[in-house]
Amino acid sequence: MTVQEPVDNPLRVGMRSQRTPEPNTLVIFGATGDLTQRKLIPALYNLALEGLLPGGFSVVGFARRSKTNELFRSEMKSAADQHSRTKPLQASVWDGFASNLHYHQSEFTDPEGFAALANALAKIESKTGACNRLYYLATPPSYYAEIAGRLSEAGLTRNDTAWTRIIVEKPFGRDLASAAELNRTLNSAFDEDQVYRIDHYLGKETVQNILVFRFANGIFEPIWNRRYIDHVQITVAESIGVEGRGPYYERAGVIRDIVQNHAMQLLSLAAMEPPATFEPNAVRDEKVKVLRAVRPVALEDADRFTVRGQYGPGAISGRKVPGYREEERVAADSTTETYLALKLFIDNWRWAGVPFYIRSGKRLPKPVTEIAIVFRQPPLSLFPATGGSSIEPNVLSMTIQPDEGISLKFGSKVPGPQAALRIRPVEMDFSYGTSFGFAAADAYERLLLEAMLGDSTLFARRDEVEAAWAFITPIIEGWANSEPRRFPDYEAGTWGPDAADEFMSSDGRKWRRL
């Protein structure tokens, strides 16, 4: 297949076919934190580089440490220089972007700090003419409710002549009750259509391409159902450990850190019905329907439908790594799960009886996120088993990261005489990197731009978050009522505990080799 040569600035060409964001001011709460430096500022710089930021765009960093505008700009330049996907920084682009970077020092609990923020914004807007405001909560979740309340008290949440929006980072609560309480608090300060709950997985090209792949092609959707699909596997594997986040991970575990949000988002996109239109609420309505159709797991069945694991010492890519209990600020007898395998069913007409298997873990052999659709075998086998094994099923796999692409596995005859017929699985591959000739935008670049445009398709809605927690919370509660697992039960650098393989083999299936 011949692919056209990439055009200059292809991201800009693709994005400019949409409307340009209106001038606005972005206020980042937690502006001295890791997220701002590693993701947000580099993403904003790249949007500026591609000419996708509106005129009159400004950034106000809100944090507790005392520093000048000049020092803040210098630190952000170092962050962009280190973490930007495009290097080296173009001096003229950075200088223009940095001239609109401002710093505001205040405690998140100080009403006077928010009153001063209102004055600072009014001063900036008098020069830029941009009255639209976008707030980004890049702080620990414990500050979300406080900041939302302080913004409301300072009269900073609504404007009759301009838009105001707020982006909230995960985690969205620790269970159903806390998620519902957070949503009530946010909605007391902001209308629901002002709230953008961000999951960076939804900004990845292949995640967005799931809907295009399913609903823009006539050959896949007719077989996307229980008649043709045997089961679905969703894998979110990480080779890293807790990376110094011991206290956070001790409270979260993999079920809260990955499964409740990332994995359930992938599930809803893979399983949803076609929306009536491709507009934000129509798409999100269908995602919510999927989550509400997931069969509940009773507390006493939590261990029947899940396998928990925790990594011990081992090796990743030939390098020795410690076990989870040996990580910094982790309890020596921790029972926090770093691996989870989960089986669930979606009780609707499309998916009745089709198991969905989710697995996620840390310190696995390689970082990879994938949705694999495993099809049923033909109703009658016309060809003998080869090499003592049956013919492998067809598999359609969508790789979300690290190498974004789609692959279809099917059986093909090995060249040779008919009398010695052999069938071998082969694959047809599509890769974003090689097919389009340019790197895709970073997830945060796309999501920040969508929030400025007011397109909430790629953000989680209140009922979507609560529907996911309604399924996950009984599992967590069921674990609390059961005997603690004997951890560690898998070696770092392996694909999880043996019990996870037995979990699949008891159903007559096996995990995909990645």
> Over the stretch 293-323, which tens digit does the pLDDT of each residue have?
999 999 999 999 999 999 999 999 999 999 9
Q: For residue range 213-272, list pLDDT tens digits in order.
A: 999 999 999 999 999 999 999 999 999 999 888 999 999 999 999 999 999 999 999 999
Specify the pLDDT at position 4. Answer: 35
Catalytic residue among 102, 104, 200, 262: 262
Does one domain contain both 228 and 111?
no
Q: Judge whether 373 lies within some domain.
A: yes
Strand partners, 309: 339
What is the pLDDT at residue 171?
A: 87
Q: Residue 378's pLDDT is what? A: 84
Q: Minimal CA–CA distance to 267: which of 287, 248, 253? A: 287
Nearest to 29 by CA among 89, 107, 101, 131: 107
133-181 residue pLDDT tens: 999 999 999 999 999 999 999 999 998 889 999 999 988 999 999 999 9
Q: Quote the pLDDT of residue 7.
A: 39
Q: Are residues 144 and 283 in the same domain?
A: no
Q: How far apart are CA 439 and CA 376, in angstroms?
A: 35
Pick from 97, 132, 172: nearest CA to 23: 132
Q: What is the mean pLDDT of residues 396-404?
A: 89
Question: According to the model, what pLDDT value does residue 227 have?
Answer: 97
Nearest to 252 by CA among 143, 325, 188, 174: 174
**Cβ 373 vs Cβ 232: under 8 Å:** yes
Instruction: Determine the pLDDT at residue 5.
Output: 36
pLDDT at residue 10 is higher than 50: no
Q: Within this chain, do residues 415 and 368 fall inside the same structural domain, yes or no?
A: yes
261 is a domain residue: yes
Q: Is residue 148 part of a domain?
A: yes
Gap between the Cα atoms of 98 and 94, Å rounded: 6
Verify that 222 and 120 share a domain, yes or no: no
Q: What is the pLDDT of residue 419?
A: 57
Same domain membership, residue 214 and residue 147 = no
Which among 116, 174, 191 is positioned nearest to 140, based on CA atoms? 174
pLDDT value at residue 107: 96
Asked whether the beta carbons of 161 and 450 are under 8 A apart, the reply is no
pLDDT higher than threshold 60 for residue 388: no
Q: Which residues form the domain of 51?
A: 10-169
> Minimum mean pLDDT among 202-206, 218-222, 269-273, 471-475: which range?
202-206
CB-CB contact of 367 with 237 (8 Å): yes
- Terminal CA-to-CA distance of the chain, rounded, Å? 26
Last residue of a domain, one of 169, 193, 218: 169
Active site residue 200: no
pLDDT at residue number 17: 45
- The overall average pLDDT reported for the chain is 91
d(CA 97, CA 91): 10
Residues 225 and 111 occupy one common structural domain: no
CA atoms of 394 and 375, how far apart (whole Å) = 5
- Residue at token pair 């410690």: 322
Give domain status of residue 510, yes or no. Answer: no
Does 374 share its domain with 488? yes
CATH of the domain at 284: 3.30.360.10
Last residue in a domain, options 126, 153, 169:
169
As given in the structure block, the two tokens for residue 488 are 């560690």
Any idea what the CATH number is for the domain that residue 18 is in? 3.40.50.720
% of the chain beyond a pLDDT of 90:
77
Does 126 lie in the same domain as 214?
A: no
Worst-scoring range by mean pLDDT, 2-16, 240-254, 307-321, 328-342? 2-16
User: DSSP strand E in 332-376: where?
Assistant: 339-345, 355-361, 368-375
Closest CA to 293 of 266, 311, 271: 271
Tokens of 461: 């809605």
What six digits make up the tokens of 251? 């409270």
Q: Using the 8-state DSSP alphabet, how is residue 192 labeled? A: G
397 bridge partner residues: 372, 407
Domain check: are 83 and 216 in the same one?
no
Final residue before a domain boundary, out of 169, 194, 222:
169
Any domain includes 291: yes
What is the C-alpha separation between 457 and 203, in angstroms, rounded? 10
Exposure class string for 277-299: b at 16+ Cβ within 10 A, else e = eeebeebbbbbbbbbbbbeebeb
pLDDT of residue 405: 87
pLDDT at 435: 75
Q: What is the pLDDT of residue 386?
A: 59
> What phi and psi, each to the nearest 5 degrees, are found at residue 398?
-115, 110
In a shared domain, residues 296 and 357 = yes
DSSP letters of 246-299? HHHHHHHHHIIIIIIIIIHHHHHHHHPPPPSSSSHHHHHHHHHHHHHHBPP--G
Q: Which of 9-13, 233-237, 246-250, 431-435 has the highest mean pLDDT?
A: 233-237
Name the amino acid, one letter, at 246.
G
Answer yes or no: are the C-beta atoms of 174 and 467 closer than 8 Å. no
Within 99-245, residue ranges assigned H as helices are 111-128, 144-153, 176-189, 205-215
Q: Is the pLDDT of residue 368 over 60?
A: yes
pTM > 0.75: yes or no: yes
Pair 381, 477 in one domain? yes
Same domain? 55 vs 140:
yes
Q: Taking residues 86-93, what's their average pLDDT?
A: 93
Give the number of domains in the chain.
Answer: 2
Asked if the structure places residue 276 within a domain, the reply is yes
**The residue to which tokens 């630190």 are assigned:** 75
Q: Which of 27-41, 154-168, 372-386 is predicted least confidently? A: 372-386
**447 lies in a domain?**
no
Read off the pLDDT of each residue in 357-385 and give the average, rounded to a whole number: 90
Per the domain annotation, does 132 fall within a domain? yes
Residue 95: its H or E element? helix 91-98
